[in-house]
Amino acid sequence: MTEIAGKRGVSNAQVALAWLLAQPGVTAPIIGASKPHHLDDALAALTLTLEPAELEALSRPYKPHTVLGHS
């Protein structure tokens, strides 16, 4: 994430939110903005379009798991 953010000149948070928004089924990620710059990052992520190779690189280490307590 840091490598992609550095190449793009954006924050890690922007890359993380852009990746999340690119995932199927995610229509409204829940974000908690406790400081003004958190909101700035969230808004900037809306206009950040990651390349397919970047999305794949970010998805590679992600291991989906079932939600505990639900069947």
Domain total in the chain: 1
Q: Which residue has the tokens 């948070």?
A: 13
Encoding tokens for residue 17?
Answer: 């939110």
Q: pLDDT (tens digit, 9 = 90+) per residue, 3-24?
A: 999 999 999 999 999 999 998 8
- Does the residue 48 lie in any domain? yes
Residue with the larger pLDDT of the pair 53 and 33: 53
Residue 33 in any domain: the answer is: yes
Q: Which pLDDT band, with edges at 50, 70 and 90, does 29 fall under? A: confident
Residue 28 CA to residue 7 CA, distance in Å, equals 26
Identify the domain containing residue 25 by its residue range: 2-59
pLDDT at site 30 = 74
Residue 55 within any structural domain of the chain: yes
Please check whether residue 64 lies inside any domain of the structure: no
Q: CA 37 to CA 51: how far, in whole Å?
A: 25
pTM value is: 0.80
**What's the CA gap between 71 and 67, in Å, rounded?**
8
